């Protein structure tokens, strides 16, 4: 790219200094990265126009059915779907799906469609926001619209700076807090659909899929992984076992289901299922407000990410010792305590509770499967402390140590990454619940202990508002930077 442009202007036989060559290569990398980003923005704008066209087709077809009195039969809509499918060389089912999603995007969530049209978010981001937004329902249409608008404003801001995988978890958590429907009721209804299905595939292979409670499936997945790791670790130097980690997991899965026990490797004895879930302290203690209702109705979070009914989390906390409880502060949403029924190294547990996943921007590999990395390498004098440790997946751990990426850890566990081309990206630990901070004097808020509080903006540091407004006396300050003593090491 740059080489071709310069080739006609560089005198024959000229050998540029190494430093000049390196600068040119880095400039080329920066320009290519920007070219990719611009292409993605152009694609988003084109998909926004596609959504507008499909939604227009759907509205026009419905209007035609209304005029003809065939709304129930949908003759016009069926005809439109068939014609569009024929012209675009796709199936009617695909056209129907795009029409439905486009109508939701353009009519129910116009702000999301506007962000897509501006190239600020991708279609994948937009679809995640819309799907999570439909969780928000209310008997009063005006209230439902207001809640969805608030949801979109918060989640769109997040969508502009994170990957679709992280956005999905964040969006669902925000929607659960705003909807008037009960997660408990939806969970009970969904549990009726649990099933196990076998799908036939080519080459004599097949897939076995199970639909069940997410905490149960997460624990099963974790146990399979731990057993596979134990089998691989038990291999001797002269072992002729060529199986990969995933192949061992599949074999363990099959043997356990067929025989009820694993007899081929004694090292797996005693390995049980495990998972962690996050619960606000006052909810765990069944604290109530002045009206006798629950003080905090925030759902529990499985592995710090996925909302699950509080009743399920409480039952697990009381009856299943292999699960891990992570308690959070009712005001700041930060981690207060990690409580393991089966003791492990406490520092790792505290950091897993804070990080949830790999701390490289956009990566979602669970912290359970990550390496604990020294932000400042120990070889350079970096301390082994909570303010210098973070979870990184093996891939990104290698990227950090072997390429031009740089990272520093700021107060509150914020990871500031700088790419080889100088682009700065911050990865901020998300609070496990709604975050509140003291309201400035004269502004409205929820009064607690004589101090008014309001929802804290994302990324804001919890603490006194300007003017020295004191916080409530709710125990010690939170987080390692604020003086919280982590579990004893």
DSSP string for 404-438: S-EEEEEGGGEEEEE-TT--EEEE-PPPSS--EEE
Query: Would you tell me how many other CB atoms lie within 10 Å of the CB of residue 317?
Result: 18
Inside any domain, residue 450: no
Q: Count H helices, E strands: the chain?
A: 15, 15
pLDDT in tens, 117-166: 999 999 999 999 999 999 999 989 999 999 999 999 999 999 998 999 88
**What is d(CA 233, CA 224) in angstroms, rounded to the nearest whole number?**
14
Task: Please identify, among 241, 268, 295, the residue that sits at the C-terminal boundary of a domain.
Answer: 268
Name the 3-class secondary structure at 277.
Answer: strand
Inside any domain, residue 176: yes
Give the model's pLDDT for residue 411: 87
Based on the domain organization, do 70 and 160 belong to the same domain? yes
pLDDT in tens, 49-87: 999 999 999 999 999 999 999 999 899 999 999 999 999
Inside any domain, residue 253: yes
Tell me which of 412 and 57 has the higher pLDDT: 57
In the chain the first and final C-alpha atoms are separated, in Å, by 54
Arithmetic mean of pLDDT over the chain? 77
The kind and range of the H/E element at 392 are strand 389-392
Per-residue CA distances from 109 to 177, 208, 435 (Å): 18, 37, 25
Based on the domain organization, do 232 and 144 belong to the same domain? no
Inside any domain, residue 120: yes
pLDDT-derived band at 470, boundaries 50, 70, 90: very low
Helix axes 123-133, 164-178, angle to 10 degrees: 20
Instruction: Work out the average pLDDT over 3-20.
Output: 68
Based on the domain organization, do 218 and 175 belong to the same domain? no
pLDDT-derived band at 320, boundaries 50, 70, 90: low
Based on the domain organization, do 138 and 245 belong to the same domain? no
Confidence (pTM): 0.63
Asked if the model's pLDDT at residue 434 lies above 50, the reply is: no
Asked if the model's pLDDT at residue 336 lies above 90, the reply is: no
Task: Please identify, among 221, 245, 268, the residue that sits at the C-terminal boundary of a domain.
Answer: 268
Based on the domain organization, do 49 and 143 belong to the same domain? yes
Tell me which of 277 and 174 has the higher pLDDT: 174
**What is d(CA 133, CA 298) in angstroms, rounded to the nearest whole number?**
17
Inside any domain, residue 276: no
Based on the domain organization, do 53 and 152 belong to the same domain? yes
Give the model's pLDDT for residue 117: 97
Based on the domain organization, do 236 and 124 belong to the same domain? no
Domain limits for position 117: 22-184
pLDDT in tens, 165-197: 889 988 988 898 888 887 788 888 888 999 999
Count of structural domains, the chain? 2
pLDDT in tens, 227-244: 888 888 888 778 888 999
Tell me which of 312 and 109 has the higher pLDDT: 109
Based on the domain organization, do 178 and 236 belong to the same domain? no
Based on the domain organization, do 75 and 146 belong to the same domain? yes
388 burial class (0-12, 13-18, 19+ CB within 10 angstroms)? middle
Based on the domain organization, do 180 and 215 belong to the same domain? no
């Amino acid at each position: 790219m740059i080489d071709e442009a310069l080739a006609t202007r560089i005198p024959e036989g000229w050998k540029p200094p190494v430093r000049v060559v390196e600068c040119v290569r880095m400039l080329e990398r920066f320009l290519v990265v920007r070219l990719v980003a611009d292409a993605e923005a152009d694609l988003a704008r084109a998909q926004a126009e596609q959504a507008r066209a499909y939604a227009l087709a759907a509205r026009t077809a419905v209007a035609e059915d209304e005029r003809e009195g065939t709304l129930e039969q949908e003759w016009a809509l069926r005809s439109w779907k068939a014609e569009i499918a024929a012209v675009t060389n796709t199936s009617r089912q695909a056209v129907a799906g795009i029409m439905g999603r486009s109508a939701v995007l353009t009519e129910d969530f116009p702000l999301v469609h506007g962000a897509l049209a501006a190239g600020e978010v991708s279609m994948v981001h937009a679809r995640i926001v819309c799907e999570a937004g439909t969780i928000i329902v209310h008997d009063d249409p005006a209230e439902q619209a207001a809640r969805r608008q608030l949801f979109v404003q918060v989640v769109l801001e997040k969508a502009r700076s994170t990957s679709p995988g992280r956005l999905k978890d964040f969006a669902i958590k925000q929607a659960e807090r705003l909807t008037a429907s009960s997660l408990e009721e939806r969970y009970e209804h969904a549990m009726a659909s649990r099933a196990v299905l076998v799908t036939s595939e080519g080459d004599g292979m097949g897939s076995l899929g199970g639909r069940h409670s997410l905490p149960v499936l997460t624990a099963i997945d974790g146990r399979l992984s731990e057993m596979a790791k134990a089998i691989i670790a038990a291999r001797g130097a002269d072992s002729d076992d060529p199986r990969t980690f995933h192949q061992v997991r599949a074999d363990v899965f099959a043997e356990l289901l067929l025989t009820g026990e694993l007899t081929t490797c004694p090292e797996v004895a005693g390995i049980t299922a495990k998972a962690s879930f996050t619960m606000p302290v006052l909810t765990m203690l069944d604290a109530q407000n002045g009206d006798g209702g629950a003080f905090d109705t925030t759902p529990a979070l499985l592995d710090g990410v996925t909302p699950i009914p509080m009743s399920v989390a409480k039952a697990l906390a009381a009856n299943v010792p292999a699960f891990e409880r992570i308690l959070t502060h009712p005001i700041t949403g930060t981690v207060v305590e990690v409580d393991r029924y089966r003791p492990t190294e406490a520092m790792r547990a505290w950091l897993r509770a804070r990080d949830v996943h790999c701390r490289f921007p956009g990566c979602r590999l669970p912290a359970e499967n990550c390496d604990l990395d020294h932000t400042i390498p120990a070889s350079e004098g970096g301390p082994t402390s909570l303010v210098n440790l973070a979870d990184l997946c093996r891939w990104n751990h290698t990227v950090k140590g072997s390429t031009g990426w740089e990272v520093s850890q700021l107060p509150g566990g914020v990871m500031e990454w700088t790419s080889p081309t100088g682009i700065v990206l911050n990865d901020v630990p998300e609070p496990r619940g709604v975050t509140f901070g003291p309201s400035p004097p004269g502004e409205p808020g929820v009064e607690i202990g004589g101090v008014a509080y309001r929802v804290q903006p994302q990324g804001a540091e919890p603490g006194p508002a300007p003017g020295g407004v004191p916080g409530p006396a709710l125990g010690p300050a939170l987080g390692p930077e604020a003086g919280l003593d982590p579990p004893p090491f």
